[in-house]
Amino acid sequence: MINLILFGQPGSGKGTQAAKLVEKYNLLHISTGDLFRYEIGNSTPLGLEAKSYMDKGQLVPDSVTIGMLRNKVESNTMSFGYIFDGFPRTIPQCEALDNLLVERNAHVNLLIMLDVPDEEVVRRLLERGKTSGRPDDNDETIIRRRMVVYKDETTSVFGYYQEHGCAVKISGVGEIEDIFQIICAEIEKSLDETDVVVA
Ligand code: B4P
């Protein structure tokens, strides 16, 4: 199994790069943001709860997020591995993910952090907000709130995986294809003989 985490602040390119990596490595893409938006679209109790946090730019509580992530992984056990996009965002989420993978005799192979300056992130998200219909993208105050939440609550995730020796930081500024090639090179470097790549 290959298990990758795409990490970085909102708008750093996680979802964009995950879509390309899924095709190349045949992994299952799990975006907690997308899962929440699916629940919101179906007006489920989970979706209504998540929306109350997301619309304010806050994190959805761990108790909700971890349960949802576990359900998604447990209902897709045939996958060659996973790309986690937007998860984990807190240390309890890191611990929950590690436990979930250990149950499958697996581990996180690599966390890739996409490093993008604040003003570029604001520009990208406001641009996306023109067409995405996402309430958290078309209000600069909420975008900046999300960035503060990232710095206060989420940056520690990088240190957690750095201590495990599996975190790298790359620049997320530039052509999408160029960034993708750098990510692929990091993935190839990190794979050991026991991992199976299906191209
Ligand atoms: P997410 O859905 O994860 O939102 P995101 O971080 O904005 O998306 P992403 O980072 O994937 O977008 P991308 O850069 O690819 O989370 C939304 C909310 O859900 C959170 O605020 C939180 O409330 C909640 N949530 C989600 N997960 C949670 C968790 N684990 N715990 C608690 N709460 C959670 O794209 C941005 C734009 O940049 C796009 O328009 C793209 O085209 C553009 N772009 C990408 N790469 C580019 C490049 N190289 N150059 C120029 N533009 C680029």
In angstroms, rounded to a whole number, what is the distance separating the alpha carbons of residues 62 and 95? 11
Residue type, 180: F
Is 134 catalytic? The answer is yes
Q: Report the alpha-carbon distance of residue 61 to residue 50 in Å, rounded.
A: 8
Beta strands in 9-98 (DSSP E): 28-31, 81-85
- Nearest CA residue ID for atom 25, ligand 1: 33
Residue 113's DSSP bridge partners are 7, 169
The single residue of 14, 104, 124, 146 carrying the catalytic annotation is: 14
Ligand 1 atom at shortest distance from the alpha carbon of 93: 30
Does pLDDT of 195 surpass 60?
no
Q: Is the CB of 32 under 6 A from ligand 1?
A: yes
Residue 7 pairs in a beta bridge with: 113
Confidence of residue 199 (pLDDT cuts 50, 70, 90): very low
**Is the predicted pLDDT of residue 197 greater than 70, yes or no?**
no
Distance 194 CA to ligand 1 centre (A): 31
CB 70 within 8 A of CB 96: yes
Q: What are phi and psi of 111, to 5 degrees?
A: -110, 125
C-alpha triplet 154, 186, 159: angle, nearest 5°: 25
pLDDT digits (tens, 9 = 90+) for 16-38: 999 999 999 999 999 999 999 99
CA quadruple 158, 162, 165, 169: dihedral sign: positive
Burial class (CB in 10 A: 0-12, 13-18, 19+), 178: exposed
Q: Which pTM does this prediction carry?
A: 0.92
Return d(Cα 54, Cα 113) in angstroms, integer.
22
Q: Taking Cα atoms as reference points, which of 39, 105, 112 lies closest to residue 69? A: 39
Calculate the alpha carbon distances from 69 to 23, 85, 123, 134, 156 in Å. 21, 11, 30, 21, 20
Q: What is the pLDDT of residues 46-88, one digit of tens each?
A: 999 999 999 999 999 999 999 999 999 999 887 789 999 999 9
Ligand 1 binding pocket includes 53 (Cβ within 6 Å): yes
The CA radius of gyration of the chain, in Å to the nearest whole number, is 16
Average pLDDT over residues 129-141: 92
The mean pLDDT value of the chain amounts to 94
